[in-house]
Amino acid sequence: MANSSHGIGGLAYDPKKRTRPSELNVLAALILIVVVFEVLGRLILGDSFLFNTRENVDTLFNEQRLQIIILQVSIVGIIALGVTQVIITGGIDLSSGSVVGITAMVAMSFAQVAVVNGNPNPKAIFGPEWMDLPVIVPVAVGLACGLFAGLVNGALIAYTRIPPFIATLGMMVAARGAAKWWSKGNPISFPTEGYAAIGQGMMPVVIFVCLAVLFHLIMTQTKYGRHCYAIGSNEAAARMSGINVTGHKVLVYTIAGVLAALAAIVLSSKNLTAQAGMGVMYELDAIAMAVIGGISLQGGRGSIIGTCLGALIFGVIISGFTFLKLDAYYQEMVKGVIIVGAVVLDQWRQSGRGRG
């Protein structure tokens, strides 16, 4: 059971009372949305959303569409994995989008090639001695960027006790400023082949899925995971029962920062460019994925599986609307309705069970 440790912190918890894990509801919603697109597609366009209708391709499903559904959310999904842990501890991280911005800029600066089509790199940031470096350099520098940002977030929250909303809001503004300052707003392009390979093809999905499995295991099987739920359920009780709440919070925000940095590396590699405006609003998309996936903003409740399903719902909606040839306006409006709707439904379910 994903939430079997929910009772830490003095709350009685009886797994038998829980008839349905909330992930099943999210899964049901995901299936429902897919069915709606399938039906609308057949009615309006006479085409199938999920199944292959092309004669020249011999597969049951439209594999290209299945791929893009997950590919287009996998990068924000990587961020959402970190944000999920933060939210489970009762915090919030608004800085991830901006951390993506600054990390992409810094990492790409160390990943440039010296020569483009026979000419010197027109977007060069450093001199030639800092170009054509092995791929480990930009990756390490990038991850260090995220680690630093996350460490600052965590330290501010844990030691000064300022609300996470404020601490990470500060980081959000400051990191975006740093991203613009880094190259005075100029985009940074032309990475080495090694760096470009990180985000090509379905690599973002592979990285996302591996990390999701890893953090699912960490959250369900380790002391770290149990402490996240304990702190989110009842911080005072967690402290009393001997959990190092301060240290744990620093760790959680640091992990979130590193994951945001990793997302930035994949994103800039996938796009073969880094721009100061990269990752704008990603933090909110990541939070929305978690919330749709049943993670409670009160803390203490939710799972990595839920977040992954939330991410898939996002992807299905984007692809579904393009499939139906509907404009982006509707896409955003529906996204908003789904975010709020998911939480309202979850609240109803929660209060219903409380009474029963």
Report the distance separating Cα 89 and Cα 311, nearest Å: 20
Q: Which helix (H) or strand (E) holds 227?
A: helix 223-233
Neighbouring-strand partners of residue 273: 189
> x/- binding map, residues 128-147, to other proteins, per CB under 8 A?
--------------------
Sign of CA dihedral 325, 327, 332, 337: negative
Stretch that binds other proteins, among 92-100, 111-119, 128-136, 227-235 (CB under 8 A): 111-119
Distance of CA 270 to the CA centre of its chain: 16
* Segment contacting other proteins by CB under 8 A, of 21-29, 180-188, 251-259, 338-346: 180-188
11 binds other proteins (CB under 8 A): no
> With CB under 8 A, what is the number of residues at the site for other proteins?
44
Residue position matching structure tokens 């054509």: 132
Local structure of 55: helix, strand or coil: coil
Q: Provide the terminal-to-terminal Cα distance of the chain, rounded to the nearest Å.
A: 22
Q: Footprint of other proteins on residues 219-278 (CB under 8 A)?
A: 267, 270-273, 275-278
Pick the stretch among 59-67, 77-85, 235-243, 345-353 that binds other proteins (CB under 8 A). Answer: 59-67
Shortest Å, Cβ 257 to other proteins: 21
Q: How far is residue 54's CA from residue 186's CA, in Å, rounded to a whole number?
A: 43
Chain Cα centroid distance, residue 147: 16
- Going through the chain in order, the beta strands assigned E by DSSP cover 115-116, 119-120, 188-189, 273-274
User: Cβ 179 to other proteins, closest distance in Å?
Assistant: 7
**Contact letters for other proteins, residues 192-221 (x by CB under 8 A):** --------xx--------------------
Note the residues at the interface with other proteins (CB under 8 A).
47, 53-54, 56-57, 62, 64-65, 67-68, 71-72, 116-117, 119, 122-123, 179-180, 184-187, 189-190, 200-201, 267, 270-273, 275-278, 318-319, 322-323, 325, 327-329
